[in-house]
């Protein structure tokens, strides 16, 4: 069953690596192609210090590059984005109607609105930000809605850093039923709270820098080093730990968009001049 999902769907799934000005990857997501659009998690809108994003699709061996290009991050957000940044829907859509991605096949979004608890689903994503695509399976364990009215499929398949934005596939139809997000879990929220606390601590320490000294020892620098070590440790734990209770937002928020006649869609917010940087 999973081998059929892989055969049918792998070519439509891509990795999004967000690079800083030095070309170092600072974040990684998964996305997938639907018609001439790229769908991923809403976190693609808010990658701090991102300078470029590299979008890469792979072949059936999970490693060989099928299509890849780098786009300035500002251009991706300003010229390729569909819809508003703060859509509160846990998804992001970008226009990738480009020659480089013309041969990449499209996945199909499911019209399904009711989900059978106990049924099998599969997710394809790039674990831990590695460059090889992977498939995993799980069972739908529950369906719930948050305070904003967004519905989520809870499933027991493990997801890790890099998997956010993965398509959740119904193996019986080979259609997408949800968009995986690891970044809306209690563990993820706790990590971001810890980051905020550390940033606040560092800001307060900076205010008293060089004021207090004990002989040759600057205790403020000791505390700064301690906070930076905590930040590094938190990043490592977050990036290299997996979550066994996972969730995917349902397609309620985007299915109507893809059901429209896109030939008449207003692309005012999408530049028709794609000044892309390849390589």
Size (the chain), residues = 279
Cβ atoms within 10 Å of 153's Cβ, excluding its own = 23
Closest CA to 65 of 14, 113, 106: 14
The count of structural domains within the chain is: 2
Q: Are both 10 and 141 inside the same structural domain?
A: yes
With respect to residue 273, please indicate whether it lies within any of the assigned structural domains: no
Q: Are both 85 and 192 inside the same structural domain?
A: no
Q: Which domain holds residue 154?
A: 2-185+243-264
Q: Are both 228 and 253 inside the same structural domain?
A: no
So what's the pLDDT on residue 191? 72
Give the CA distances from residue 269 to residues 51, 167, 170, 257, 272, in Å, rounded to whole numbers and listed in that order. 20, 25, 33, 15, 9
Closest CA to 155 of 182, 174, 194: 182
Q: Are both 18 and 119 inside the same structural domain?
A: yes
Q: Are both 131 and 195 inside the same structural domain?
A: no
pLDDT tens for residues 210-221? 777 766 778 888
So what's the pLDDT on residue 127? 92
So what's the pLDDT on residue 206? 85
Q: Are both 220 and 94 inside the same structural domain?
A: no
Q: Are both 65 and 203 inside the same structural domain?
A: no
Q: Are both 181 and 212 inside the same structural domain?
A: no
So what's the pLDDT on residue 193? 84
So what's the pLDDT on residue 14? 98
With respect to residue 13, please indicate whether it lies within any of the assigned structural domains: yes
Question: Which residue would you say has higher pLDDT here, 183 or 107?
Answer: 107
Q: Are both 202 and 254 inside the same structural domain?
A: no
Q: Are both 232 and 250 inside the same structural domain?
A: no
The domain spanning residue 47 has which CATH number? 2.40.10.120
With respect to residue 274, please indicate whether it lies within any of the assigned structural domains: no
So what's the pLDDT on residue 271? 36
Q: Above 50 in pLDDT, residue 239?
A: yes
Retrieve residue 158's tokens: 């493990």
Closest CA to 182 of 168, 152, 156, 162: 162
Instruction: List, edge to edge, every strand of the sheet that includes 37-40.
Output: 65-72, 52-58, 13-19, 25-34, 37-40, 92-95, 81-82
Residue 33 pLDDT grade (very low, low, confident, very high; cuts 50, 70, 90): very high
With respect to residue 199, please indicate whether it lies within any of the assigned structural domains: yes
pLDDT tens for residues 142-194? 999 988 888 999 999 888 889 999 999 999 999 999 999 866 666 667 777 88
pTM above 0.85, yes or no: no
Closest CA to 166 of 25, 16, 271: 16
Q: Are both 128 and 220 inside the same structural domain?
A: no
With respect to residue 279, please indicate whether it lies within any of the assigned structural domains: no
Instruction: Return the minimum-mean-pLDDT range out of 18-22, 64-68, 104-108, 251-255.
Output: 251-255
Retrieve residue 268's tokens: 């005012």
């Amino acid at each position: 069953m999973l081998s059929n999902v892989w055969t049918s769907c792998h070519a439509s799934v891509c990795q999004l690596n967000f690079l800083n000005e030095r070309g170092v990857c600072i974040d990684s997501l998964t996305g997938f192609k639907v018609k001439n659009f790229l769908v991923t998690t809403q976190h693609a809108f808010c990658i701090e210090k991102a300078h470029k994003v590299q979008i890469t699709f792979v072949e059936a061996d999970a490693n060989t590059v099928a299509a890849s290009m780098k786009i300035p991050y500002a251009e991706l957000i300003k010229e390729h984005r569909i819809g508003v940044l703060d859509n509160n829907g846990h998804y992001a859509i970008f226009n990738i109607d480009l020659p480089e991605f013309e041969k990449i096949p499209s996945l199909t979004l499911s019209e399904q609105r009711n989900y059978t608890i106990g049924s099998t689903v599969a997710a394809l994503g790039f674990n831990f930000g590695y460059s090889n695509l992977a498939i995993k399976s799980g069972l739908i364990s529950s369906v719930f809605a948050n305070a904003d009215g967004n519905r989520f499929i809870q499933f027991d398949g493990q997801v890790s850093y890099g998997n956010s934005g993965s398509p959740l596939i119904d193996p019986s139809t080979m259609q997408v039923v949800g968009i995986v997000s690891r970044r809306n879990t209690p563990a993820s929220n706790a990590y971001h709270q810890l980051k905020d606390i550390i940033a606040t601590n560092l800001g307060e320490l900076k205010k008293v820098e060089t004021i207090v000294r004990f002989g040759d020892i600057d205790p403020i620098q000791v505390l700064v080093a301690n906070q930076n070590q905590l930040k590094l440790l938190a990043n490592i734990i977050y990036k290299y730990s997996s979550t066994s209770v996972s969730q995917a937002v349902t397609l309620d928020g985007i299915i109507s968009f893809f059901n429209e006649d896109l030939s008449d869609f207003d692309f005012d917010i999408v530049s028709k001049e794609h000044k892309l940087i390849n390589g």
